Each structure stands twice: as structure tokens, then as C-alpha cells.
Amino acid sequence: MLCVNGQFNIDCDYVGGDKSVSHRALILAAIADGDSVIRNLSLCDDVAATCECLRVLGADIRLDGATAYVRPITVPISGVTLNCRNSGTTARLLAGLVAGLGVRAKFVGDESLTSRPMERVLDPLRKMGARFNTGSGYLFESLGGKLTEITYRAKVNSAQVKSAVLLAGLFADGETTYTENIPTRNHTELMLRGAGADVSVDGLTVTVRKSTVHALNLDVPRDVSSVAFLVTLALLCDRKARFDGVLLNERRTGFIRVLQRSGADITLENVTERFGEPTGDIAVKPSRLKPSYASETDVCDAIDEVPLLCCIAAVTQGRHEFHAVDELRRKESDRVRAIQSIAVKLGATAEVSNGSLTITSEGCKAVNPHFNCFNDHRIAMCAVIMALVCGGGSVDCAPFDVSFPNFLQAVGVTPYKFALIGENVSDSRSPVLMSYLASKANLCCSYVTVSLPRDVSDERLLETINSFDGVNVTMPFKTRVAALLRADVPSVNAVGKRICPCSTDGCGIVKSLTANGIDFANKPIWIVGAGGAAEECIRVLLKYNCAIRVINRTQAHADALTEKYGLSKQIDEPYGVLSFVPECEFERNIQLPDSVGFVFVAAYKGQSGLRDKASQRVIKYVDGLEMLYHQGAESFALWTGTEVQSDYDGFLKYLADCDG
Ligand code: S3P
């Protein structure tokens, strides 16, 4: 979860080399007739995936900052696994390359990539003679096969499919011809030609013959798809901005054309050619925007920027139309659905009919919107831009490194970096809580969950902790971290660069009980559980002079705490019961004596026998979520030096908004 306030800065120097060109430069260099140098290579995860796969196939790639020195594949290595991670371009372009090299390779990827269509690329390659297996749990497996020419007409508008066929065609007998229905990005043909391969273009048809690719010496221009986020921010916040050395290939600037038509003052200046690719500057001036319209060709030329155009539409008064958007459903997420979700959060409507998307907006900006980003890097960046445009807001994930590693620096956002570390913490509500607190404090913060195995080494545990500005620690690491950091408390849940390791659990308990009007001082109490949070609760309740008995499934642990703190062995009529164990048979079997006036259950998720009993008998009940709120607010205050005025109900509303 990332929460931003309205502060930003636009800095083009953080935009790296174009991702599409970088993939292709590495691939061509890997099959070139000599050593290549590629400068300003994109350092994003997608390109790293291509780089790694090419190494697995036998290329020698050395990276020095953003400069790649590539010694080509001599004998391709067969029988390998290629991990394409999140990158469709890696999978599809390398499908063509591997078919050309005639090697066996199993292609795998992350969950998103595994669910994306690959048949579109296997179909033409099979027709050329390449053999592939498909099955579940992987993308496809190439089995080799001798390649011969084909004449192929595109079934989908995809530069990736075209590129795969062209790369395979370089190794096939005869003349391979690929004809498109509408033009898609043409970097592969431009770069192949630039590197001396036998490639010709005639209208919508590209022809390739078996030929040699010469070594490359190339400077990759800035990524126009990354610059697009900064252009949007400048336009929507009325800033003047200039971006230099950007890739301005017409097949990539549909975004700019659509905006210019709707009144944006954007000019392209100093345009020259680098390796066949137009490159130049983009100048943006404050503009009054009108409704936008994007035809099928515009959408194809802005295929990765349509979500941004739709975001702009969602805050620009009028009715905006985007045609032939179906392909967007097959990207890293269903981007049509993602756009609809963002548009609604921004207060607009977004309707799809016959593959066209219509956005209708009153031109208003939302207040502190929360966006769900479907684990999709471009959607997450759109969401951050819109949160900034709205003067603050939050996003549920931040996978920016997939395409734009320095995205946050480029928009001048420097969040506090916080995390929750535990064994199984992916479901925690702490990220939403911290985002809520940050929005209240008008601060910028990211809060992630890090699940580590119980037997993680001390070194790795400490290294993880030290990579954040502040960390909450939970089961089963609270006491271990306390010992490792030599804390002066036995159990630690809050650690930070500027604070002594401590526990805010006690504060969370006291505040949540007090907020519910429970007077627990001097009362007899049962504590259920004997872990770190239970111990912290004992420590704090002893300060309030409570008589305490520990009840635990493993009696020895209860006995140890009883002895350590001199607790009561027998309390038959407790006033309060505070449970720190998850639901289990032991927990379900605990009976509540008639004396009980309140029940507290720390586990705020899932079932609880004690909670059920409290509700049947109408006993005052305090939920662990309320404790989570107060201990989190305390941690946040320690880490940031900013205390947020207590508002648990406000948090519940925010939580509902995030979940909805
Ligand atoms: C790309 C082509 C496009 C684009 C992707 C990169 C490329 O995909 O969405 O981000 O580098 O060839 P399709 O070819 O599937 O449209």
C-alpha cells in the first residue's frame, strides 16, 4: 500500500531507456555477428527478464550501470527453462528467437503472465515448422523444428506476434511475410534493418529473409511510455514541463496525438533519428482540455497509454470515447476493468459497449481516493498520478519496477518505507491502517507485508528489518527480534531507524479498552495465550494493578509467565478475558464465567469461540482491529514524529472504501 499527499515534482532525468527498444536491442545483440554495446538500457524488471533468459540461452551480457556489453550466443544452450516473470514481450519475442535457434526451452512466468494468451504467437511459429508443447503451470515449451517461410496475416493487432515471426524468419528458409490489419509498433523491423538484416516494409507488410544481424552500438532513447505518466501529471496540474531525448516513433505517440486533438498544448521539438527511431523533446504547457476521442488506430498507437488517457478523461468534463479497447483486457491485468474501477473512484462513469469504452465526467477530482491496481504496474502508476492530481490518495500495490524503476523519484515522491514482518502476514490490515494514518497526517508512506519462514536466519531477519524506515513485527518473531536487538522489553512489535525497539501492543490494548468505556484497573483478568502480545498485555495490566491468570494450551508456557511475573494461579471470577490465540478447539472450549464483564479477542480475522459467547450473552466485546488501530497509530507516531488524532470510526470507513 502506498499513500501519497499532493506534493510532487516532475524530473525527467529519472526516466530510463525505452523498454520495447531495450528488449529488442538485447535480443538482436544476442544473435549478432560481433560484440555490441547498448547504452541507456532500461533497467526495469521486464528487460532484466529478457537479459536473464538470453544469458540462459548462452549470451554473455555484462551490465555496467545502464550500459550493456553483449557477446552473442555462439552455441545456443538447449533444454533450458526461461523465466519471463511478468513480461509478455520477453515470452513472445523469445518464442520467435528460440524457434529460430531450434532449441528446446520451457517458458515460465508469474501468475499474471501465465494467464495471458500465448497461442497468438505459437500459431504462426507452428506454421513455420516450430514445435511447441502447452500445458498448465507454464507458458509453453519449444521443442525445436526446422523453419521454412510463411505468408501470414495477423489475427490480432500485436507487435509482439509480428516481432516473433520476424525473429524466427531470420533463421527460416525462404521469404517470410507478415501482413498487419493496422500498423503496430515497428521497432523490430526498424532495428533489424538498422543492424543490416534483410528486412523490407511495404505498407502493412513486412518481409524478412535469412540474414546476418550486425553488432549494435546503440543509445536507447527515453521511454515515451514512462514519460507519458509525467506528461499527464503536468497537464492535469497545470505545470509547464519539458522532456528531452524521448523516443518519438509515431507508433508510440498515439497518446500525444489524442491529447493534442483534445486541446493539450504539447509540442514535439528537436526531432532527429537514432538507429532509425525518431527521437526528440516533448514540451508541455498548461492547457484547457476538451473531451477526447480515440479511434482503433489511436488506441493501437497508445496501447499502453490508454489507461492514462482514460484517467485524464475521468477528470475532464464531457463524454470521451475510446474504440477497440478489447486487447487491453489481455494485458498484465484486465485493463478495461481496471480503468472502470479507477474512473468510478474518480467520480466518473465508464461504460463498455461493443468493445468501445465511453467515459463521462463532470470534471471533478475525488477527495483522498483509494485505488485497486490489480497488481498491474501501469495501472498502479496511473493510480499514483491520479492520487497526486487529487491532492492525495492511495494505491494497494506498487509494482513500478516492472517497467519504470525510478517512477517515484521521477514524480518527486519520497515515501517513508514501512513494513510488517511475520510468518504469514499477506492478509494483514496494517497496510490499509498505515495508509489511513498517513493520509490523516498528510504524509507520504509505503507499507508492505513481508512474510518470512519461521526458521529464517537472524542475518536475513535483521537485513529485512534494516531495509525499512520502520517495521512492525508480529508472530512468531516478536521475542526473537527483542533479543536480537537487545531491547529492554521481552517482546517487540515496533522497530525503526529513529526509535528504540519497543512494543506498542500494550498501548493498543489500553486505548482500545478505554475507548469502549471499560474500567479494567484493579480487576481480575484472564489472559488467553502466552506469546509476545500476551506477555506485553500482562506487563501493561500489571501496571494497572490487575490480578492476572494465564490460560494456555501448552501449560508450561503459561507456568513460565506466571512465575516470571508472579501471577495468580487461580482466578475463578475474572472481570475480563483477553485472548491472543487464533480460533482452535482449545479456544472454543473456554467457558466464560458469569463474572465476565468484557471480552477482548486480538485475532480480528476469522472465527472466535470467545467472540461468539460474548455476543450470545451480550457481554461487552472489543475487537482486535481496534487494538490494531491504536498500536499502529502509536507505531506511526514513533516512526514519523506525527501523532494522528484518534478516529477509529474514520479508519473503519476508510477500510470499507478500500475493500469496496
Ligand atoms: C510491446 C507490444 C505491445 C505492448 C507491450 C510491448 C512490444 O503488446 O502492449 O507493452 O514491445 O512489442 P502487444 O503486441 O501484445 O499489443
CA dist 507 and 491 (Å) reads 13
Res 54 pLDDT > 90: yes
d(CA 317, ligand 1 centre) in Å: 30
DSSP track, 404-447? -TTHHHHTT---EEEEEEESS-TT-SHHHHHHHHHHHHT--EEE
Confidence class of residue 365 from pLDDT cuts 50, 70 and 90? confident
pLDDT at residue number 387: 98
pLDDT at residue number 587: 96
d(CA 12, ligand 1 centre) in Å: 23
CA dist 359 and 523 (Å) reads 60
d(CA 61, ligand 1 centre) in Å: 24
E strands in 497-544: 499-502, 524-528
All 3 cell numbers of residue 386? 491520479
Residue with C-alpha cell 514513533? 638
CA dist 7 and 266 (Å) reads 23
Residue type, 476: P
CA dist 435 and 371 (Å) reads 12
Res 305 pLDDT > 90: yes
pLDDT at residue number 585: 96
Res 132 pLDDT > 90: yes
d(CA 425, ligand 1 centre) in Å: 35
Cα distances (angstroms) measured from residue 346 to each of 101, 342, 387, 419, 655: 49, 6, 9, 28, 18
Res 75 pLDDT > 90: yes
CB of 368 within 6 A of ligand 1: the answer is no
Query: Which residues touch 33 (CB under 8 Å, ≥6 apart)?
Result: 72, 212, 213, 214, 215
pLDDT at residue number 205: 98
d(CA 109, ligand 1 centre) in Å: 16
Percent over 70 (pLDDT), the chain: 100
Among residues 45, 46, 304, 623, which one is catalytic? 304
Q: Which atom of ligand 1 is nearest to the CA of 157?
A: 16
Cα distances (angstroms) measured from residue 384 to each of 1, 2, 286, 418: 11, 8, 20, 18
CB of 378 within 6 A of ligand 1: the answer is no
CB of 42 within 6 A of ligand 1: the answer is no
Q: Per-residue pLDDT tens for 569-601? A: 999 999 999 999 999 999 999 999 999 999 999
Q: Per-residue pLDDT tens for 88-123? A: 999 999 999 999 999 999 999 999 999 999 999 999
Residue nearest to atom 5 of ligand 1 (CA): 89
pLDDT at residue number 542: 97
Strand order in the sheet with 67-71: 60-64, 67-71, 36-39, 217-219
Confidence class of residue 276 from pLDDT cuts 50, 70 and 90? confident
pLDDT at residue number 594: 97
CB of 89 within 6 A of ligand 1: the answer is yes
The DSSP bridge partners found for residue 79 are: none
CB of 579 within 6 A of ligand 1: the answer is no
Res 364 pLDDT > 90: no
Q: Which atom of ligand 1 is nearest to the CA of 327?
A: 16
d(CA 160, ligand 1 centre) in Å: 5
Mean pLDDT score, 301-315: 98
Q: Which residue has the higher pLDDT, 659 or 454?
A: 454
CA dist 527 and 552 (Å) reads 8
Helix axes 119-127, 159-169, angle to 10 degrees: 30
Confidence class of residue 197 from pLDDT cuts 50, 70 and 90? very high
All 3 cell numbers of residue 204? 502493412
CB of 158 within 6 A of ligand 1: the answer is yes
The DSSP bridge partners found for residue 80 are: 105
**Rg of the chain in Å (alpha carbons):** 29
Residue type, 267: T
All 3 cell numbers of residue 310? 482514460
Q: Which atom of ligand 1 is nearest to the CA of 23?
A: 11
SS (H, E, C) 59-110: CEEEEECCEEEEECCCCCCCCEEEECCCCHHHHHHHHHHHHHHCCEEEEECC
Mean pLDDT score, 210-235: 98
CB of 22 within 6 A of ligand 1: the answer is no
Q: Which atom of ligand 1 is nearest to the CA of 225?
A: 10
CB of 20 within 6 A of ligand 1: the answer is yes
All 3 cell numbers of residue 557? 508456557
CA dist 226 and 224 (Å) reads 5
pLDDT at residue number 224: 98
Which of these, 371, 446, 440, 379, lies nearest to 659 by C-alpha position? 371
Res 31 pLDDT > 90: yes
Round the average pLDDT of the chain to a whole number and report it.
Answer: 97
CB of 160 within 6 A of ligand 1: the answer is yes
Asked if 66 and 39 count as a contact pair (C-beta separation under 8 A), the reply is yes
All 3 cell numbers of residue 190? 526498424
What is the greatest pairwise CA distance in the chain? 91
pLDDT at residue number 660: 79
Q: What is the value of pTM for the model shown?
A: 0.94
pLDDT at residue number 457: 98
CB of 370 within 6 A of ligand 1: the answer is no
Res 605 pLDDT > 90: no
Res 532 pLDDT > 90: no
Mean pLDDT score, 470-494: 95
Residue 304 designated active-site: yes
pLDDT at residue number 403: 98
The DSSP bridge partners found for residue 623 are: 601
Query: Helix or strand or coil: residue 191?
Result: helix
- Pocket mutation for ligand 1, best pick of 19, 20, 298 (most atoms within 8 Å of C-beta): 20
All 3 cell numbers of residue 365? 477530482
Asked if 16 and 47 count as a contact pair (C-beta separation under 8 A), the reply is no
Residue nearest to atom 16 of ligand 1 (CA): 158
